[in-house]
Amino acid sequence: MLVQNQLIKSKSMNKPTSKSEINYKINRFLRAATAALIPYYWLILISPSYAEVPQKAVVRKIIGKPEMWVTKNGRRYQAQEDSIMEKYRDKINVNGNSQTRAILEFLSRSNQNLNLFVKTLPHSDPSIYNFPCNLQQGSYLFGWKRAANRASACERAVQVRSGDWKSNSQQPNWQYPAVARQLFKHLLINQSYNYNRTFYYCSVVAESGASWLDIQSKDPCQEIMEKCESNPTNGQCIPLTLSYWKSQEPELTAVVECNPRELFITKGTGSELKELAKQKWDEAMTQGATSCALQVYQPGDVAIELITDPSILNQGNNQSPIDNIDHPEVAVNSRSTSGCAEFEIVWGAVIAKSAKRPQGIRVDSGYKSTPDFCKQTVGEIEEFDVESKRQSIDFEIIDADNRGLEFCNKQQVSGGQEGDQRIIQLTSNQGVIHLEYEMYTAKDKLQVFYEGKELYNTGFTSGSNSISIPFQGNSGRVEVVLTGNIEESGTEWNYTIFCPIK
């Protein structure tokens, strides 16, 4: 099937356009039109390597107050940097209406970095990341970093789930008196099988093209990975998809996708889908399909798939993603909203899929979905101001993490006579910075600069202090210069800049 050229909606122009702008738009259109003529199944056939379900997701950084939780093996803990998720039921929950941001990175079984990053963004709803490739509710910035190795986690699909998944609201409200709560809990335990069962599914593919599927209530990958690896002629065995659905979901679509671009599709309720999906899988195997994987969609879900072949990547309206190594290869801004998950492509190009478009359409940087993307089979893509998004605080934070800059809310540094000079990444470009410092008995000096201007200067002073500094501008970074007392060899100091309060 051809990628549909309906993916681009021309933005109406209400003002005169210069000749250079016209030429730019013409060239941009021609590049997009060329990409639209490429059969999407070629993306799979000539992909240099299979995607990989990561072995681990690690909390690389927490920025702001630690208002987030990790669930491991059914138990909930407050998340910390270096918290690990590695099981099919593990997840992270960031509180709604929180300024907390978390950056996750992903590792293979050999602890190789798989280049995928996921960053939670502030949102009125909680942001829930479900291991390994599912983003539910809230808002996220995710994508794939450019790297020499092509191994990348979740290339087959990062699934963004809509905010109205019925399973989100199935948890009991524990605001009942203790007796009623215990009774309700007892009823749930005794009827848990029928209440809202979770079905986990896993697809495993071998280098030979052989494929396996398992759907169950416990780890779905273990048994079929063992089957694949038990035969040396299969070569490397890789889990391509690992996800879940709930038995009370009223409308689901199961897609068995195989090479070369064969789709086997069925629909049903959550309680029916296990048998229906297995029937489609058996149909695919009977027809000799290879390299198959199952993906399950609720009507409002969107799956974002990475395009891995550079020759195809550069033929679209992609604005030369290889011209600047300071940005990710692919970056996507997503939000879970009622009805349909929304996305914006900020760097690179992806294939966007949904229950209505299981074959997927190519979407390039500078384009986003409309609220009706999940409800239509054509169109529903429009341009947006991508440059402002690239210059946003959230991209600045990703860049700061890549460059190893210090972040607010931590003691940035301590030292002595040698002093220090460094850049601190904040979480906003306006608000009030809270600064705490300790100079002990010898006098040292601390200065805070923002966009080239001095915000605060302690002068040479001793002792401790806590101050608030208002600021506003374009950047989310401050420079801190600590001048040590050169006359006192035993001088000591430390300071902490806290994330801004708006």
pLDDT for the residue 247:
95
| Domain final position from 299, 314, 334 | 299
In this prediction, residue 313 carries a pLDDT of 65
pLDDT-based confidence at residue 34 (cuts at 50, 70, 90):
very low
**Assigned domain for 93 exists:** no
Is the pLDDT at 365 greater than 70? The verdict is yes
Where residue 429 sits, what CATH number does that domain have?
Answer: 2.60.120.380
* 46 falls within a domain: no
Single pTM value for the model: 0.79
**153-212 residue pLDDT tens:** 888 889 998 865 444 433 333 333 444 445 444 444 444 445 789 999 999 999 999 999
Is the pLDDT score of 7 beyond 50?
no
pLDDT of residue 52: 64
Query: Which own/partner pairs from 71-77 qualify as long-range (CB within 8 Å, at least 24 positions apart)?
Result: none
Q: What does the pLDDT read at residue 131?
A: 94
Residue 270, Cβ density class (10 Å: 0-12 exposed, 13-18 middle, ≥19 buried)? buried
Flag whether 356 is in a domain: no
pLDDT top residue among 44 and 128: 128
The answer to whether residue 283 sits within a structural domain is: yes
Does any domain span residue 43? no
- Looking at the structure of the chain, the number of domains it has is 3
Residues 13 and 55 in one domain: no
Peptide bond into 260 cis (omega under 30): yes
User: What pLDDT shows up at residue 501?
Assistant: 82
Residues 394-407 have pLDDT tens digits of 889 988 888 889 89
Average pLDDT of every residue of the chain: 81
Is 23 part of any domain?
yes
The pLDDT assigned to 312 comes to 62
pLDDT score, position 163: 66
Q: What is the pLDDT of residue 98?
A: 86
Q: Per DSSP, what are the bridge partners of residue 447? A: 457, 481
- The CA-CA-CA angle for residues 439, 441, 443, to 5°, reads 60
> Does 43 or 22 have the greater pLDDT score?
22
- What pLDDT score was predicted for residue 325? 43
- The 10 Å Cβ neighbour count of residue 18 is 8
- 134-136 vs 158-161, strand pairing mode: parallel
Q: Point out the least confidently predicted range of 9-18, 204-213, 433-442.
A: 9-18
Q: Which residue has the higher pLDDT, 501 or 361?
A: 361
Domain that holds residue 26: 5-36
Q: What is the pLDDT of residue 456?
A: 97
Mean pLDDT computed over 329-350: 88
Asked whether residue 173 falls in the same domain as residue 293, the answer is yes
pLDDT band at 234 (very low <50, low <70, confident <90, very high): very high
293 with 408, same domain?
A: no
Q: Are residues 413 and 295 in the same domain?
A: no
pLDDT at 149: 58
Phi and psi of 194, rounded to 5°? -95, -15
Same domain flag for 55 and 19: no
Both structure tokens of 291: 């390299």
Same domain, 197 and 55: yes
- Residue 423 within a domain: yes
